[in-house]
Amino acid sequence: MLKLRFKHFLPLTTTMKPSSAQYATIASLLKEGYSLCQIQSKTGLGKSTVGRIGKELDLNKENHPGGCPTKLTPRNKQAIIRQITTGKLDTAVQATKFINNILPNPVHPQTIRNVLKEHGFRSASK
């Protein structure tokens, strides 16, 4: 007995450009601050379509750098550098104790090491 197997073919889906009314709707929702997923659920269009329209509009959004905001201000960093260069402090741990007396939120010695490295200091044995 001969068995025949048929593959089930899915119908081809065609992509359509959004109409001018949909384009205007997406543009207004993006300007109001809705996320891509929220706009997708409201309009029924794909997330990539909504994202592409957002790129075309170029809303001049500022890019968020990401990560946590720094605990030390430039003025605090300069105070640490001054204390190290004048010889009042020798180590990052000492600098941490110094700056934690000034700041309301304590910082970790690694934060101080990062600041020193950022300003070109390196660790060395005496």
pLDDT in tens, 10-48: 555 555 677 888 888 988 888 888 888 898 888 888 888
Task: Determine, yes or no, domain membership for 3.
Answer: no
- The total domain count for the chain is 2
Task: Determine, yes or no, domain membership for 123.
Answer: no
Together in a domain, 81 and 45: no
DSSP H stretches of helix in 1-126:
20-32, 36-43, 47-57, 74-85, 92-100, 109-118
Task: Determine, yes or no, domain membership for 84.
Answer: yes
> For 36, which DSSP code?
H
Give the tens place of pLDDT for each residue, 77-107: 999 999 999 999 999 999 999 999 999 999 9
Task: Determine, yes or no, domain membership for 63.
Answer: no
Together in a domain, 53 and 79: no
Residue in this structure with the two tokens 């605990």, named with its chain if needed:
71
Task: Determine, yes or no, domain membership for 1.
Answer: no
Task: Determine, yes or no, domain membership for 15.
Answer: no
Task: Determine, yes or no, domain membership for 79.
Answer: yes
Structure tokens at 123: 């660790």
Cα-based distances in Å from 68 to 72, 74, 92, 95: 12, 16, 21, 22
Q: Give the structural domain span for 88.
A: 74-118
Confidence of residue 73 (pLDDT cuts 50, 70, 90): very high
The whole-model pTM stands at 0.50
> For 22, which DSSP code?
H
Which domain-ending residue is among 31, 57, 83?
A: 57
Q: Which one is predicted more confidently, 88 or 63?
A: 88
The reported pLDDT for the residue numbered 62 is: 67
